[in-house]
Amino acid sequence: MKTRREVLQGMIVSIGGASMLTAYGGIAAVVPSDQLQDSRFYSADELALVSRLADLIIPRTDTPGALDVNVPGFLDSLMADWASADTQKTHHEYLTQITSGLSSSFVTLPDGAAIPLLEKFDTAAYSGRGEHSGYRALKGLITQAYFASEDGALQEQEWVAIPGRWDPCVEIT
pLDDT at 1: 47
pTM of the predicted model, to two decimals?
A: 0.74
Residue 147, domain member (yes or no): yes
Judge if 20 and 50 occupy the same domain. Answer: no
How many domains does the chain contain in total? Answer: 2
When comparing pLDDT for 34 and 16, which is higher? 16
Question: What's the mean per-residue pLDDT of the chain?
Answer: 84
Amino acid letter at 169? C
Residue 162, domain member (yes or no): no
Least confident of 14-28, 104-118, 125-139: 14-28
Judge if 75 and 115 occupy the same domain. Answer: yes
Judge if 144 and 75 occupy the same domain. Answer: yes
pLDDT at 35: 54
Judge if 85 and 1 occupy the same domain. Answer: no
Nearest-5° angle of CA 9, CA 11, CA 17? 100
Taking only the tens place, the pLDDT of each residue in 47-59 is: 999 999 999 999 9
Judge if 7 and 44 occupy the same domain. Answer: no
Report how far residue 165's alpha carbon sits from residue 150's, in angstroms, rounded to the nearest whole number: 29
Report how far residue 164's alpha carbon sits from residue 5's, in angstroms, rounded to the nearest whole number: 29
Domain with 14, as residue range(s), is: 1-30
Helical segments of the chain, H only: 4-23, 44-57, 71-81, 85-101, 111-125, 133-148, 150-151
Judge if 4 and 76 occupy the same domain. Answer: no
Judge if 43 and 110 occupy the same domain. Answer: yes
Residue 173, domain member (yes or no): no
Taking only the tens place, the pLDDT of each residue in 60-111 is: 998 899 999 999 999 999 999 999 999 999 999 999 999 999 888 899 999 9
Judge if 66 and 79 occupy the same domain. Answer: yes
